[in-house]
Amino acid sequence: MSRRPTLPPSRPPGTATRHPYPGGPVTQNPFAQDGADDGPPTAPRAGTGATAADGRGSRRSVPKRHGLVLVLCTLVIYLLDQLTKWWVVSAMDEGDVIPVLPPLLSWRFIRNPGAAFSIGTDYTWVFTIIMVLVSVAIVLQVRRVASWLWAVALGLVLGGALGNLTDRLFREPSFGQGHVVDFIALPNFAIFNIADSAVVCGVVLIVLQTLRGIDPDGGRKAKDEAAVGDVGDVGTPGQQRRDHGESSDDEQ
């Protein structure tokens, strides 16, 4: 009758593994955990390791998408403005009027040396410098923008500013003092162009976002400061208990 083979006693998890040769080093099982069997390492928990890194990457990609929206709005407004001005200069003579939706809307070709809606016609160079500064300031904000409305608003303003700036720099009578092409005429209102309309719409959106307390980076600065102030006034539970105890002692 054959004997049943005797198995070696199971080794408790987490114990050292001896080298098979005498005098060999004693090593620790790298996969052993207290209270668990030996085995391969488990997958990282949610929110740690690669998952956390992916989350940080997705957060970093959000401002990039907002920046792309800003750039896209800028290009659309700029191209639309320049194409309409090119058509007006090519198809009309200065002073011509083409009825579109009479009596509400018509095209009337004029050259404007001033700002939007023919404001400040004697300060052409000043408005040229202002448009350059506005354009540079918005470009510096592109990577910081993390709000969709802010991206659209700044894109409208930048596209309009660049459209009129192109006229200032390259149209007659001279560099930096060029006259802007205006052609949209409404009853009892100044004649303007696509760039002027975009700038006004962008400024309105900026004012609305500012009144709502939303910064270009998407944060609500005013509300956050108010919340911090309220927390500071209330204090921690321990502080509240100490204050309550002091008030009780005063009453006694």
Catalytic residues: 182, 196
What HEC string does the chain produce? CCCCCCCCCCCCCCCEEECCCCCCCEEECCCCECCECCCCCCCCCCCCCHHHHHHHHHHHHHHHHHHHHHHHHHHHHHHHHHHHHHHHHHHCCCCCEEEEECCCEEEEEEEECCCHHHCCCCCHHHHHHHHHHHHHHHHHCCCCCCCHHHHHHHHHHHHHHHHHHHHHHHCCCCCCCCCEEEEEECCCCCCECHHHHHHHHHHHHHHHHHHCCECCCCCEHHHHHHHHHHHHHHCCHHHHHHHHHHHHHHHC
CB 48 within 8 A of CB 129: no
Residues in the chain: 252
CB atoms within 10 A of CB 10: 7
